[in-house]
Amino acid sequence: MRGLARHDFDVYALSRSARQEDAGWIPLPPQVRRVRTAPLWGPQDLSGCGRRGGRGGRAYGRRERRRFITCFAELAAAVCGTPDAGAGRDPGTEPGAGPDAGAGSGAGFAEGLYGLADLAREHGGLAAALRSETAVRVLESACRAGGVRRGVHGATVPDHLAFAGQVERALRPLSLDWYGEDGLGAVDLCHAASGGTAALPGLLAKRFFGVPLLVTEYGVRLRTHYLTVADTPLSAPVRTLLAAFQRCLTTEVYRQADVITPGNTHARRWQEKCGAERAKLRTVHPGVEAGRFAAVGESGDSGDPRTLVWVGRIEPAKDLVGLLHAFAEVRREEPEARLRIVSAPVRDAESATYRAHCEAVAAQLFPDEAVDAHAVGDNPVSFEDLGGPYAPDVTDAYAGAGVVVLSSVVEGFPAGLVEAMLCGRATVSTDVGAVVEIIGGTGLVVPPRNPRALADACLALVRDRARRERLGAAARARALELFTVEQNLAAFRGIYLELISRAPVRRDADGIGADGEPLPFAHPAEAYVPGHWTGRGSGGATTPAWAAAPRPAGAYATPARAGAQAPVRAEVPVAQAPVAEVAVAQAPVVANGRAESPVVANGPAGVPGQVVASLPVAASFPVARRVDGHV
């Protein structure tokens, strides 16, 4: 948002824990108009709900209860995988539908979800209804129907209660008061920064108001759920039901999204397998602030060749035990080598336990060494905290590294690897997640859980200074080209303008056609680009300099600027009824990272130039305008 200053933003935030809320808000950029928050953790406040679900003290009546049962039964049948869940669609025809996609990928889940959303919008929240005895009975019937998923038949009443509680939290955005003409109904674009539950507000804004939906996933939410659900204390039937629910929700989000932007090819493959259409997918890599690492990257210092540095968050998925065993092999060949493990301060019990275990392994593998009987022993492996005296900033950790090591067995998009590349450091990494996509040919990649291969790669770089410097320079050049904030902003700037240009405008009567329906492109995207006319006409009205003198009908011209290409001719004839005059910024519009030139048409004598279309010099999407009833 800070880099997209030409747009105003409303932030709708869903908090996942009390600790997240207690951390407070970060400073907001000036283009954020308002922030609305809602918790997904803890019990829902039912003080304003009726006995069976209504809001404002009003209980659901018989008709509302019957409607809730119908909608929730459709959703439950889709999650459990009963044959009725696939009504209206063949799940095998969905893009990326695998053999385990099941009938839950059909229209039944969508019908149940949107039915519950309509009910919540008209008659109040769903919290009490989703936790009621009626909901448990519906779940029990769905789990005992024929053709359900394996592991669901054995679900008991406590399992149904636990699953109902999880579903209530996941569907809590349906009960919020965000969906109105003064809320999500008044925006031009919904950008969901994650999939799953976080995308529900955007999903409903598209359902209720037709607002375009953009979904960004740097790490696929469904994949994260699959990796973490096994560590929860939930029973096997509940885990099965939750996985099916998240799969159905993810499929519906991908189906309704106008554009999906995975952060890397690894995430893109997951999205395709989960039903995302390939035509909607556009990889947009996360942006790292390159200026923060410029001093180290441009210093020309390649660091201490004998020092290996690992930077990250200490957890079992990072496989630090395997790294320690690999370093033991390195020490046998290079006795002067050292390993620095630099991490953020540990905050949770699991990470603290794993760190203590790694420190114990390091103490066993590398006893403190002293040069003589009177010296204090020293360990070649050090565990350091970011912000401490030896690593006050992450750049200090990379500055002292000869080789940066990544030893993970599970990764998404390892931003630390990009930071090391921006510092011009040679890297040795395990082949997980998006590592190969990031590294390209600028570092060494070895199989995960292979300490011998990791040690051999580290030794190869420790012993060859020219190779380290060559790989470090290539890595920095690659990171500056692909993984900076600037390329990320250019991509989203183009996607925003593209999606806004496709959507109808509902702001005023000028955007309404004779049939009462919104006109597409009634106000083009460039109408919202801030700027000023370059000239001034009579009465204080601004007039562009290139429109000051009348031209013959049918003449087209582009604003003169350095390096401008030959004028592009539009296919829309100018000798038609004039179109509404709009303000056009002097700066060129950028779409998908490519500049567009506003094409100007002059009307009859005395009429200032008017915008007919913004034809791209080199763009990947069409732009059209309605002129005299024709597009």
Asked whether residue 489 is domain-assigned, the answer is: no
Mean pLDDT of 410-418: 91
| Domain hosting residue 520, numbered range | 515-631
Point out the domain boundary residue: 280, 307, 333. 280
User: Are residue 78 and residue 179 in the same domain, yes or no?
Assistant: yes
Q: What is the pLDDT of residues 295-322, one digit of tens each?
A: 999 988 878 899 999 999 999 999 999 9
Give CA–CA dist 54/51, Å, rounded: 7
- 378-to-233, 309, 338, 403 alpha-carbon distances in Å: 42, 17, 11, 21
Asked whether residue 346 is assigned to any structural domain, the reply reads: yes
Q: Residue 495: inside a domain, yes or no?
A: no
pLDDT value, residue 514 = 63
Residues 122 and 223 in one domain: yes
Q: Would you report the helix, strand and coil content of the chain in percent, each value rounded to 5?
A: 40, 15, 45
Distance (Å, whole) CA 205 – CA 239 = 30
Report how far apart the first and last C-alpha atoms of the chain are (Å, whole number): 33
Structure tokens at 415: 């931003």
State both tokens at 245. Answer: 């629910």
CA–CA gap between residue 245 and residue 87 (Å, rounded)? 17
Sequence-distant (≥ 6) Cβ neighbours of residue 477 within 8 angstroms: none
**Total number of domains in the chain:** 3
Q: Which amino acid is at 234?
A: L
Q: pLDDT tens for residues 272-297? A: 988 899 999 999 999 999 999 999 99
530: tokens are: 């801030």
The CATH number for 402's domain is 3.40.50.2000
Cα 73 to chain center, whole Å? 31
Helix (H, G, I), strand (E, B) or coil at 338: strand
Lowest-confidence segment of 166-170, 387-391, 506-510 by average pLDDT: 506-510
What pLDDT digit, counting tens, does each position of 139-155 carry? 999 998 888 888 888 89
Domain final residue, candidates 227, 256, 280: 280
Q: Is 318 helix (H, G, I), strand (E, B) or coil?
A: helix
State whether 103 and 238 are in the same domain: yes
Verify that 477 and 519 share a domain, yes or no. Answer: no
Q: Which of 246, 274, 247, 248 shows the shortest CA–CA distance to 260?
A: 274
Question: Residue 8's CB: how many other CB atoms inside 10 A?
Answer: 15
- The whole-number pLDDT of residue 154 equals 84
Write out the two tokens for 242: 């939750």
Is residue 234 located within the same domain as residue 312? Answer: no
pLDDT of residue 232: 82
Instruction: Determine the 3-state secondary structure of 158 from DSSP.
Output: helix
Q: What is the mean pLDDT of residues 173-199?
A: 92
- Tens digit of pLDDT for each residue in 230-280? 778 899 999 999 999 999 999 999 999 999 999 999 899 999 988 899 999
3-state secondary structure 30-66: CCEEEEEEEECCCCCCCCCECCCCCECCCCCCHHHHH
- Kindly tell me if the per-residue pLDDT of 92 is higher than 90: no
Structure-token pair, residue 479:
């990171």
Query: Closest Cα to residue 616, out of 528, 497, 520?
Result: 497
If one compares 524 and 575, the residue with the highest pLDDT of the two is 524
Mean pLDDT (whole number) for 208-231 = 88
Distant-in-sequence, close-in-space partners of 224: CB < 8 Å, separation ≥ 6: none
pLDDT tens digit sequence for 396-407: 999 999 999 999
385 has which bridge partners? Answer: 343
Distances (CA, A) of 235 to 196, 221, 238: 22, 21, 5
Q: Which long-range contacts (CB under 8 A, 24 or more apart) does 131-134 make?
A: 131/164, 131/165, 131/168, 132/52, 132/53, 134/52, 134/65, 134/68, 134/69
Instruction: Tokens 């579903």: give the residue.
Output: 167
Mean pLDDT score of the chain: 78
Flag whether 402 is in a domain.
Answer: yes
The answer to whether residue 324 is domain-embedded is yes
Question: Is 205 found in the same domain as 99?
Answer: yes
Least-confidence region, from 146-150, 332-336, 443-447: 146-150
Question: What pLDDT was estimated at residue 518?
Answer: 60
Same domain, 328 and 244: no
Rounded to whole angstroms, how far apart are CA atoms 426 and 421?
7
Confidence tier at 173 by pLDDT (50, 70, 90): very high
CB of 454 closer than 8 Å to CB of 428? yes
Same domain for 260 and 310, yes or no, is no
Q: Among residues 431, 429, 444, 442, which one has the least CA distance to residue 483? A: 442
The pLDDT > 90 percentage for the chain reads: 53
Please list the residues that pair with 590 across neighbouring strands.
595
Residue 492 domain-assigned?
no
Q: Choose one of 462, 483, 504: the last residue of a domain.
A: 483
Q: For position 598, what pLDDT does the model report?
A: 35
Residues 257 and 297 in one domain: no
> What is d(CA 403, CA 469) in angstroms, rounded to the nearest whole number?
10
What is residue 405's three-state secondary structure?
strand
Examine the domain organization and report whether 174 and 226 are in the same domain: yes
Confidence of residue 596 (pLDDT cuts 50, 70, 90): very low
pLDDT at 48: 37
With 0-12 / 13-18 / 19 or more C-beta atoms within 10 angstroms meaning exposed / middle / buried, residue 473 is middle
Mean pLDDT of 83-98: 38
**For position 371, what pLDDT does the model report?**
55
pLDDT of residue 275: 87
What per-residue confidence (pLDDT) applies to 464? 95
CA angle 548, 551, 557 (to 5 degrees): 80
In a domain, 631, yes or no: yes
Choice between 347 and 599, residue whose per-residue pLDDT is larger: 347
Q: Is residue 496 part of a domain?
A: no
pLDDT band of residue 562 (cuts 50, 70, 90) is very low
Same domain (yes/no): 328, 468: yes
- The whole-angstrom distance between residue 506's C-alpha and the CA centroid of its chain comes to 27
Q: For residues 177 and 588, give the distance between their C-alpha atoms in angstroms, rounded to a whole number.
A: 39
> Average pLDDT, stretch 416-422?
96
**pLDDT for res 563:** 40
SS3 assignment for 193-253: CCCHHHHHHHHHHHHHHCCCEEEEECCCHHHHHHHHHHHCCCCHHHHHHHHHHHHHHHHHH
> Alpha-carbon distance 47 to 259, whole Å?
39
Percent of the chain scored above 70 by pLDDT? 72
Give yes or no: residues 301 and 248 share one domain: no
∠ Cα 196 202 208 (to 5°): 125
